[in-house]
Amino acid sequence: MAQYLNDISRTFSEYLLIPGLTTKNCVPDLVSLKTPLVKFKKGQESDITLNVPFVSAIMQSVSDHNMAIALAKNGGISFIYGSQAIEEQAEMVRKVKKYKSGFVVSDANLTPDNLLQDMITIKEKTGHSTFGVTEDGSPDGKLMGIITGRDYRPGKDSLDMKVKEVMTPFDKLITGEFGISLSEANDIIWDHKLNCLPIIDKNQNLKYLVFRKDYDDHKENPNELSDEHKKLLVGAGINTRDFKERVPKLLEAGADVLCLDSSDGYSVWQKETLEYIKKAYHGKVKVGAGNVVDRDGFLYLAEAGADFIKVGIGGGSICITREQKGIGRGQATSLIEVAEARDEYYERTGDYIPICSDGGIVQDYHMVLALSMGADFLMMGRYFARFDESPTRKLLVGGNYVKEYWGEGSNRARNWQRYDMGGSDGLKFEEGVDSFVPYAGKLKDNMDMTLGKVKSTMCSCGVTNLSELKTKTKVTLVSSTSIIEGGAHDVILKDQRNS
C-alpha cells in the first residue's frame, strides 16, 4: 500500500490571522520587510538581503530585464527566465547590471574624428544619449570631451560633421578625480548643475560617468536593491540540462544569484546540478533550488547545497500539474511542514536556508499568511504579469484591458526542461495554460499599495518585522461559512460605476 498522510492539504484561503497587541511602535513607517535571500550561518548575515520579500517568477511572461530593473528599484529581485537561448538570457542580465547606477563604465564611446552619424547609430543601438569622447574611442582612453543629444540639431546639422566640432571639449568640462566617493560626486553634480560628471584619473583617462538622473532615481526609490557598486541586483533561472554552458555566461554577464527552475525539485538531477556548480565555483555562486512540498524534499536539496529552497507544486494560477498528474499539495500545508524542517535543520547544523513560497497567492493578505507560516520571501507570477513592466502585450478584450500570461508548461512556452523527467527532449503534455490577467498599471504604484497592506496587517498582528511575524503571530483555520462572513454580505451593493 501507498503511505497515507492524515493531514489535510490546505490553502491560504482556509486561514486567518488573529490580531495581536498593537503597541505605539506598530505603525507602518516602522515596519521592516528586510529578509534573507540566501543561506547563512548562525551568528552571521545573509550575503544578499532583500528589502521587500518579493521575487518575480522565472517565466517568459513575467521576468525579463525590464521587470528585473523595476522590481530591484523597489526592493525585490527578478529571476530572468531561462527558457530562451543562453546569449539572449545573458544579454538581459547584462542590461540590468548596466542600467544603473553610481559609477557607470562608459560602454558607448566615440573618438573626436567620428561623425555625427556614428553617434546616432550607436544611440539607436544602445539607447544611450551621453557619450564619452576618448582619444582612441575606448571606455578608458584619454578623455577629450563629452557629447550628448543636446549638442546638435537633428535635421539641421550635417551628419558628416565630426564629433569634435560639436562636443563639449575637455577644457570646458567639470570632472571628478578617480577615487572620490559617490556622495562627493553627487555634490559636484548639484553644485554645478550638471547632468553628467566624468570621473578621470591623473592621466586624464576616463574611468566612470556619474549621472544626475541616477541620484534622483535613487531618492525616489529608497528600497532599491543594489550591490556595493550601486548596480541593481538580478537573478537568473537555469535548468538541469545545459547548466554547464549557461551558468558561466550568466555569471560573466553579472548575475548575482541563480535558481534551478523545475516543477519538481526533489530529483537527482537537481542534486547533481547543485553539486557541480558548488564544486566548479568553490561554493561562491549562490544557487536556489526547488520546488518541493515536504520535509523530505527540503532536506534532500539542503544537503545538496541549495542556498534557498522554493516551496509549491501545482498552486500557480496558470499551473495544471495537479489536474494533469495528480501531483502536488495545498500551499499552506506544504509551507508549514517545510518551515518546520528548515528550523530543525538550522538548530541541528547552524545553517539557515531561506524558503520561498511559490504559488497559491490570491489575495494580498495571503502574502502575510505565507510569511507568518515560515516563508522568507514570495515568488509570484500572476501578480507581476499584470504590470506595464512585464514583457507581454497589453490588449483590449471585452471592453477591458488585459495582459497576456502563460505558463512555462504551456504549448506556447514549451519549456520542456522545467518539466524534465529524463529521457528524450520535448514537452509531452501541457502542465500550464495560456491566459489573460487584468491590466493593473505600473509596478511601483501597485507594489506601494500592496506593501502598505502588508505593513498594516503586520501592525494589527502586533509585529514590526518578518522575524517577529514568524514567531509571534497566531493563525486560525476558518470554516466555509466564516469565509462567506468575511466578505460583503446581506447588503445590496451599489454600482461602483455610478457612485
C-alpha cell of residue 134: 576618448
- Which residues are paired to 403 by β-bridges? 394, 437
Look at phi and psi of residue 43 and say left if phi exceeds 0, alpha if psi is from -120 to 50, else beta.
left
Are 93 and 235 spatial neighbours (Cβ–Cβ below 8 Å)?
A: no
- Four-residue CA torsion sign, 193, 222, 185, 231: negative
C-alpha 299 chain-centroid distance: 26
Are 13 and 483 spatial neighbours (Cβ–Cβ below 8 Å)?
A: yes
Place of cell 523527467: 421
C-alpha cell of residue 448: 506601494
Are 250 and 258 spatial neighbours (Cβ–Cβ below 8 Å)?
A: yes
Catalytic residues: 319, 418
Pairing of strands 257-260, 287-292: parallel
Q: Is the bond leading into 291 cis (omega within 30 degrees of zero)?
A: yes
How far is the CA of 364 from the CAs of 252, 345, 376, in angstroms? Answer: 37, 30, 16
Length of the chain: 499
CA dist., res. 16 & res. 138, Å (int): 60
Residues contacting residue 386 through CB under 8 Å, at least 6 positions apart: 403, 437, 438, 439, 440, 446
Place of cell 553539486: 275
Place of cell 531561506: 354
C-alpha cell of residue 141: 582612453
CA dist., res. 93 & res. 108, Å (int): 18
Q: Which helix (H) or strand (E) holds 207?
A: strand 206-211
Q: First and final CA of the chain: distance in angstroms?
A: 60
Residue-wise DSSP of 242-270: SHHHHHHHHHHHT-SEEEE--S---SHHH
